[in-house]
Structure 1
Amino acid sequence: MSLNVDTEQPFFSHLFELRDRLIRIVVVILVAFLALFSFGNQIYTMVAEPLMQHLPEGTSMIATEVASPFLTPMKLSLVAAIFLTIPFTLYQFWAFIAPGLYKHERKMVIPLVVSSTLLFYLGVAFAFYVVFPLVFAFLTGTAPEGVAVMTDMGRYLDFILTLFFAFGLAFEVPIAVIILIWTGATTREKLSRGRPYVIVGAFVLGMLLTPPDVISQTLLALPMWVLFEFGLIASSFFVRKKRDDEEEESDDDNEPDSESDDVSDDDSSSDKSEADTRYPDDYVAPTDEEKEAELDRLEWEDEDDWAEDEDDESWNGPGDDAESPDATGAEDADAIINDLNESRLKRVMELRQQGDVAEARKLLYEVLANGNNDQIMVARNILEQLDQE
């Protein structure tokens, strides 16, 4: 039962979030529509200007349906509201999918979303200011003699909306090229080799998406070809940026943590002198007398042979300044001390697992008092870790 709850809950939470974002999009569009509705007639007059300039004198646009004078401006206001709120709509979809993307993918999506929005608006502006005057001049100029060109306002709106969407989507060609190359669906070299097919396809799309005239078809196909070439050029930058971001993320994932850094520091700095060692704030360095006494205790308590030979004349004890042991005895003493400190460090690890920090600190201080450079560095690092816990 709990398994079903754990697996279904994230799915429904995503659905709820998607629902909330769609509601926000609809609310914003409705607010923009209400704001533009009262200006519907003025907006229609503005978009009808390219045709009105080329209508013969004495003619005008007509309304063949009863409700067209009211419904057509209202429809245009709704479409204008959708056009104007495209950035907000894209942002909501971006905010919904962004948590599921990698870091380098988020870096790529933001410029792609912004550039696709600008290109869509640029396509609409190109259609309105460049294509419409040429197309309407051609169409009205080819009317047979005696035929009055009087376009229905509803049919005209459908015509220009089709062209708006056609040119807006056609100007997204660079984004499509970049995404295809970026996702690995194809390569820049393959698309370059397929340039003749792209040119033919652009003219075919121009024929299908525009009125049956050569001017509008050409005006749509040529920008698509130019934008395709621009997408090939821009894709090299995006693909290189993607590769750099992936390598950066890989380096971040492979970067060792602080504890492994401490261990590597131990290995690389084992030849450092004890004077360069950094101790914790609560550590008090032992005096020479305390070190000597600790060595005496270790040698006399942990080595039975030395304890039996305590009264022997050839050995006056490690603390006797009158006579020093021979070289072999000194090496044995160092080996014993090192072994004992290794045992203490192992015991410290067991005490840490048991939670006995006080006893672990005590053993670490003993290692700091008489250990070699490697043991001192290890004890210091463990003390620093205990201070951070």
Structure 2
Amino acid sequence: MSLEADSGKMSVVDHLTELRRRIIYVLLVFVGGLIAGLFCAKPIYNYLIHADLAQGFVLHAFSFWDGIGMYMKIAMAVSLLLSVPFIVYQLWAFVSPGLRDEERSAALRYVPYVFVLFMLGIAFAYYVVFPLALSFTISITRSMGLVETYGIAQYFSFMFSLVLPLALLFELPLLVMFLTKLRILNPLRLRKMRRYAYFVLVFIAVVITPPDFISDFLVMIPLLVLYEFSVFLSALVYRKQLAADAEAEARYSQHKSG
């Protein structure tokens, strides 16, 4: 038996084998979610087009593949929604052997909230940001006297380009709390880098949204609010850490003097 095996450490080959195994698990879950998404694509489609029906326009297909493409986009969105908690857990399981007990406990504690924040992000983006952006773009089109002919592919591309990135960015507070728990970040550092963080978030908002100012603005404001909320949560975690450190130091001083 090798010295490496005796020490309980994994070789590079073992790590790659473990990574491949977990990637296969993720792919299997994603494919399963894709199949489930195909079965429920029709009712989801009927629900999602409620916004455009309220606006009084009809969606059109401009190619033979538009309908199939719409079904596949919905199925992939459903699969992503079902896979996110499993992906996060597999990521945690892969890196957890290299973490300390405190880091492992902190990571596992935050896993369930990944799904909760992702769902909140989807709800906010779909029920708040998307209707406002859709109403604004339609009002501009009608004010210019243009004939409205909307394709189903363009409609869902517009929707997903707003909803999915914003849902993923809703994980920012959780990520900041986790990094604060690991003492990589703290509220003082976050406040010092606020200007740079704002610039990055504004850039992200411009990149992920359709090319109109109102969409950029509707995504930009929630991202800045999320950053400030992340600073607030980081401060809560940091204060608990300082209190725990002070208590540990007091116990050590008392033990030393005793």
- TM-score, length-scaled by structure 2: 0.80
**Offset, 1:84:** 1.8
The AA in structure 2 aligned to 1:213 is: D
Which structure 2 residues correspond to residues 191-270 of structure 1 after superposition, within 5 A?
Answer: 191-241=190-240, 244=244
Q: 1:9 and 1:225 mapped to 2: Cα distance?
A: 42
The AA in structure 2 aligned to 1:163 is: L
Unaligned 5+ segments in structure 2 are 252-258
Q: 1:229 and 1:148 mapped to 2: Cα distance?
A: 42
Task: Report the counterpart of residue 91 of structure 2 in structure 1.
Answer: 93
Task: Report the counterpart of residue 108 of structure 1 in structure 2.
Answer: 106
Q: 1:16 and 1:94 mapped to 2: Cα distance?
A: 16
Is the CA contact (8 Å cut-off) linking 2:103 and 2:182 kept in structure 1?
no
Is the CA contact (8 Å cut-off) linking 1:50 and 1:132 kept in structure 2?
no
Greater percentage in helix: 2
**Offset, 1:189:** 1.9
Q: 1:12 and 1:110 mapped to 2: Cα distance?
A: 26
Cα RMSD between the aligned structures?
3.0
The AA in structure 1 aligned to 2:30 is: I
Identical aligned residues as a percent: 31
Is the CA contact (8 Å cut-off) linking 1:25 and 1:88 kept in structure 2?
yes
1:140 and 1:197, CA in 2 relative to 1: closer, same or farther beyond 3 A?
same
Q: 1:173 and 1:87 mapped to 2: Cα distance?
A: 16
1:9 and 1:88, CA in 2 relative to 1: closer, same or farther beyond 3 A?
closer
1:26 and 1:237, CA in 2 relative to 1: closer, same or farther beyond 3 A?
same
Q: 2:99 and 2:174 mapped to 1: Cα distance?
A: 18
Task: Report the counterpart of residue 135 of structure 1 in structure 2.
Answer: 133
Q: 2:90 and 2:161 mapped to 1: Cα distance?
A: 26
Is the CA contact (8 Å cut-off) linking 2:52 and 2:58 kept in structure 1?
no
Q: CA deviation digits over 1:318-374, x for unaligned, max 9?
A: xxxxxxxxxxxxxxxxxxxxxxxxxxxxxxxxxxxxxxxxxxxxxxxxxxxxxxxxx
Task: Report the counterpart of residue 254 of structure 2 in structure 1.
Answer: none
**Offset, 1:88:** 1.6
**Offset, 1:27:** 1.6
Is the CA contact (8 Å cut-off) linking 2:107 and 2:178 kept in structure 1?
no
Task: Report the counterpart of residue 305 of structure 1 in structure 2.
Answer: none
Aligned pair 1:151/2:144, yes or no? no
Task: Report the counterpart of residue 82 of structure 2 in structure 1.
Answer: 84
Task: Report the counterpart of residue 42 of structure 2 in structure 1.
Answer: 41
The AA in structure 2 aligned to 1:69 is: G
1:26 and 1:241, CA in 2 relative to 1: closer, same or farther beyond 3 A?
farther
Q: CA deviation digits over 1:93-142, x for unaligned, max 9?
A: 21222222111101221233333332222111111000111111111111
Q: 2:189 and 2:4 mapped to 1: Cα distance?
A: 47
- 1:143 partner SS: helix
The AA in structure 1 aligned to 2:16 is: L
Which structure 2 residues correspond to residues 1-389 of structure 1 after superposition, within 5 A?
Answer: 10-55=11-56, 59-144=57-142, 145-241=144-240, 244=244
Larger radius of gyration: 1
- 1:148 partner SS: coil
Higher relative contact order (CA 8 A, sep 6+): 2
1:101 and 1:44, CA in 2 relative to 1: closer, same or farther beyond 3 A?
same
- TM-score, length-scaled by structure 1: 0.55
Is the CA contact (8 Å cut-off) linking 1:202 and 1:224 kept in structure 2?
yes
**Offset, 1:179:** 4.6
**Offset, 1:6:** 7.9
The AA in structure 2 aligned to 1:114 is: P
Q: 1:4 and 1:195 mapped to 2: Cα distance?
A: 45
**Offset, 1:185:** 4.8
Range with greater deviation from structure 2 (12-21 or 85-94): 12-21
The AA in structure 2 aligned to 1:175 is: L
Q: 1:111 and 1:200 mapped to 2: Cα distance?
A: 31
- Count of aligned positions: 245
Q: CA deviation digits over 1:197-238, x for unaligned, max 9?
A: 544543343223222333322222222222212211211333
Q: 1:51 and 1:161 mapped to 2: Cα distance?
A: 14
- 2:141 partner SS: coil
- 2:238 partner SS: helix
Task: Report the counterpart of residue 365 of structure 1 in structure 2.
Answer: none
